[in-house]
Amino acid sequence: ASPAPAPADTGKTVADSVVTSASSVAGESLERGRVIAGYRIEGLLGKGGMGQVYRATQLSVQRPVALKVLSPRLAKDTDFRERFLREARAAGGLHHFNLIAVHDVGEAGGLMFFSMELVEGRTVKDLITAGGLGIDQSLDIARQTLLALAYAHQHGVIHRDIKPDNIMVDANGAVKVADLGLSRIDDASSRDDGGSTHAGTIMGTPLYMSPEQGRDAHAADHRSDLYSLGATLYHMVCNCVPFPGKTPVEVVLKSATQPLTFPEPGPPPQLRTFITTLMAKDPAERPASAKDAIELLDRVRRTDSFTADPTRRIRRYIHRRRRLRRLAQAGGALLISLAVLFLTVSLVSRRMASDAWDRESSRIVKLADDNNYVDALAQLQSDIERMPAGSPHARSAEELRAKIEDSWEARSQERGAPYLAAFDAAVRDKRFNEAWKSLKDIPSALGSPKMKQAIEDREDAFGHAIDEASAAKPAEAKAQNWEELARQGEMLFANALWREFSFAPPDTVQLRDGIARFTGSGRGAYSKAIQGARSRHAELDFFLRPTAPLSKGQQWQLILGASVVTVDDRGATLVRDGREEPLTSPSGTLMVRLRRTPSGYVLYSGDRWLPFANSGDGRLQLAWKLDAGNHLDVMVRPVYLGDRAPPAKP
């Protein structure tokens, strides 16, 4: 069939038709060789209602590009500037093989421009004009265009101007979809009254425009692009437009009211069915997405899966779509009812939870007001663990915890400061008995985290001061009864050391007065290097006393790397490198002395030191296994650098 004549203006967009083509003014064309923001003009590729497209070279990377320049006259109009920038932004955010890529957008010398991929090829319009397209080539172009649309729709971009002029085919048959100047970003901001497309606006090219886009471009969705592709495919295989007319309004009216017909002889029935489906006047009767359209197109190309009767095929497709729509509507009503029920239950539950939290928080605040901070924070932590993370009540509980902790800290610092000051003064004057009393007189209710740390720091300082005073003046130490205070210092050291262990299960170890009582079975790991809390402590003595003699199968082990000291019914034994070395024989109280040297760790064995482990062998670990009813008390004490012989058993 020969192509039906159509007026030239029906091939333009409606937005273009209301603008006198500024590009026709010769003075607006850019001369060859001119450089704009790093792009050298090589020649004019084409003109349109909004400006010109030039072949150019991006000088920084010597890359050939297409440079689209907005007409200087239109650049003064806010609407056209926005449309030009919208095309650049829409294309710049999409990266797909079948979409022309945008590289850069800018403004220089009073010119707005953007650079894009240069496609060496022809438009589908040029191919139709040159003698038409075969069915196979037309379907291949349609499929590649659908791939580009599926990607754009997935990223919220609707093209709104699919037509032969905007589909390019390169020498290898690859399709590139161009001109996103009428595109819309399909989100809430693009559909409000402040958007660039207002209700009632007609945008697009009438010959290929969907009926709903002809009525109101603002209301058209992604299925309008499928209609435009159907009209373009019609033109490719029939060599004429589906609804010719003398004016844009006549074309729009025909597409909205007249049935689609095909010239004879025309395309095969199965292809007519596909085109008719894409061009259904009701968007709900078109494929739901570009991906669905690709599936239908692939069935067309297989041919045998399509009925030879296009009318029957259309009826079956439409009936299925209507049935699915009715099911969706019924399901939607059910979902709305369930949502209302859920919302009601949720509001009631939320109100009940809010009332319960109000009562609980009031009770916790009262505990804190009564200076019972430990119980208040413990109850609050228990409540937080039961609350959904990030919920309003959980956030409220976290805020309440921060306030209680701050209040506890402030009260502890205020009430505890005199005790700490008295301790510092007494230690400075070597009045150690008074210092010790000042520290122990601090009420437990003042044990906030920072105050507890301050007390531990002073306990350490107290032991250090006792050590120095005893070493400097032993006679005076005896006269002042400092030996008892020294034992108190050792107990403080032992308490600090045991606190650095993590035990599992925790309830198998109880600490009291520097002694750890082990029961049942468990393991423990020390978090620091094996050395005294202060530099003068070079060694550690472990004294072990079981309630009843250890029978076979009961044991307590000290482990470092691959070396193990085992205390059992045989006494203390060292196992290193597969060899056993006895340390002590069984007795009521066993002692294990551990020393850290520059080369590693050694153990004392009666009259000599035995290698135990290397410096890099990891953390000290404990393991024990005791019978029910039996327990093992372990006391640890530091040994000073000047103390070389093992002390007497306690």
> Of the ranges 279-288, 333-342, 547-556, 641-650, which one carries the lowest mean pLDDT score?
641-650
Give 381 or 309, the one with higher predicted confidence.
381
Give 341 or 576, the one with higher predicted confidence.
576
3-state helix, strand, coil in the chain (%, to 5): 45, 20, 30
What's the confidence (pLDDT) of residue 347? 65
Distance of CA 442 to the CA centre of its chain: 48
The answer on pLDDT for 486 being more than 70 is no
Give 106 or 638, the one with higher predicted confidence.
106
User: Catalytic site residue 161?
Assistant: yes
The answer on pLDDT for 155 being more than 70 is yes
The mean pLDDT of 164-179, rounded to a whole number, is 91
The answer on pLDDT for 645 being more than 60 is no
The answer on pLDDT for 2 being more than 50 is no
H or E segment to which residue 342 belongs: helix 310-369
> Is residue 52 within 8 Å of residue 69, measured between CB atoms?
yes
Which tokens in the block code for residue 82?
């926005």
Q: Give the pLDDT confidence of 425-453 residue by residue, as tens digits.
A: 988 888 888 887 888 788 877 878 888 88
What's the confidence (pLDDT) of residue 636? 87
pLDDT band at 353 (very low <50, low <70, confident <90, very high): low
The mean pLDDT of 577-606, rounded to a whole number, is 79
Task: Spell out the residues 6+ positions from residue 370 whose beta carbon is closer than 8 angstroms to its own.
Answer: none
Q: Does the predicted model carry a pTM greater than 0.85? A: no
Strand 515-518 relative to strand 571-576, pairing: unpaired
Kindly report the backbone phi and psi dihedral angles of residue 468, in degrees, each rounded to the nearest multiple of 5, phi listed first: -65, -45
Give the residues across from 212 on adjacent strands.
none
What's the confidence (pLDDT) of residue 445? 78
- Residue 508 identity (one-letter amino acid): T
The mean pLDDT of 273-282, rounded to a whole number, is 94
Query: In degrees to the nearest 10, what's the CA dihedral of 120, 121, 123, 129?
Result: 140
The mean pLDDT of 7-34, rounded to a whole number, is 48
Question: What is the percentage of the chain residues whose pLDDT exceeds 70?
Answer: 79
What's the confidence (pLDDT) of residue 163? 94
Q: How far apart are CA 499 and CA 502, in angstroms?
A: 8
The answer on pLDDT for 28 being more than 80 is no
> Of the ranges 300-314, 319-333, 358-372, which one carries the lowest mean pLDDT score?
300-314
H or E segment to which residue 357 belongs: helix 310-369
pLDDT band at 291 (very low <50, low <70, confident <90, very high): very high
Buried b (16+ CB within 10 A) or exposed e, 403-441: ebbebbeebbeeebeebbebbeebbeebbbeebbebbee
> Is residue 459 within 8 Å of residue 427, measured between CB atoms?
no
Q: Give the pLDDT confidence of 462-476 residue by residue, as tens digits.
A: 877 877 777 776 655
Long-range contacts of 168-171 (CB under 8 A, 24+ apart): 168/100, 168/119, 168/121, 168/122, 168/123, 168/124, 169/121, 169/122, 169/123, 169/124, 169/127, 169/141, 170/119, 170/120, 170/121, 171/120, 171/121
State the catalytic residue, choosing from 136, 161, 292, 627: 161
What's the confidence (pLDDT) of residue 198? 39
Q: How far apart are CA 635 and CA 351, in angstroms?
A: 56
What's the confidence (pLDDT) of residue 348? 61
pLDDT band at 127 (very low <50, low <70, confident <90, very high): very high
pLDDT band at 43 (very low <50, low <70, confident <90, very high): very high
pLDDT band at 204 (very low <50, low <70, confident <90, very high): low
Q: How far apart are CA 460 and CA 526, in angstroms?
A: 19
pLDDT band at 615 (very low <50, low <70, confident <90, very high): low
Structural domains of the chain sorted by starting position, each given as residue range(s) with its CATH number in brackets: 8-117 (3.30.200.20), 125-327 (1.10.510.10), 400-499 (no CATH), 501-650 (2.60.120)
Q: Mean pLDDT for the chain?
A: 79
The answer on pLDDT for 125 being more than 70 is yes
pLDDT band at 12 (very low <50, low <70, confident <90, very high): very low
CA 173, 174, 177 angle in degrees (round to 5)? 130
Strand 111-117 relative to strand 102-108, pairing: antiparallel
H or E segment to which residue 518 belongs: strand 515-518
> Is residue 157 within 8 Å of residue 221, measured between CB atoms?
no
pLDDT band at 536 (very low <50, low <70, confident <90, very high): very low
What's the confidence (pLDDT) of residue 315? 53
pLDDT band at 642 (very low <50, low <70, confident <90, very high): very low
Listing DSSP states for 21-52 in one string gives -GGGSGGGSPPTT-EETTEEEEEEEEEETTEE
The three-state (H, E, C) secondary structure of 68-105, written as one string: EEECHHHHCCHHHHHHHHHHHHHHHCCCCCCECCEEEE
> Of the ranges 19-33, 263-277, 568-582, which one carries the lowest mean pLDDT score?
19-33
Task: Spell out the residues 6+ positions from residue 214 whose beta carbon is closer than 8 angstroms to its own.
Answer: 202, 204, 206, 252, 255, 256
> Angle, to 10 degrees, between the axis of helix 223-238 and the axis of helix 135-154?
170
Buried b (16+ CB within 10 A) or exposed e, 533-571: beebbbbbbbbbbbeeebeeebbbbbbbbebbbbbbeee
Which tokens in the block code for residue 316?
């079956």
What's the confidence (pLDDT) of residue 65? 94
What's the confidence (pLDDT) of residue 9? 41
pLDDT band at 138 (very low <50, low <70, confident <90, very high): very high
Q: Give the pLDDT confidence of 583-594 residue by residue, as tens digits.
A: 877 766 778 888
Give 190 or 330, the one with higher predicted confidence.
330
What's the confidence (pLDDT) of residue 42? 94
Q: Is 555 helix (H, G, I), strand (E, B) or coil?
A: strand
The answer on pLDDT for 523 being more than 50 is yes
> Is residue 154 within 8 Å of residue 211, measured between CB atoms?
no
- Residue 358 identity (one-letter amino acid): D
The mean pLDDT of 139-156, rounded to a whole number, is 93
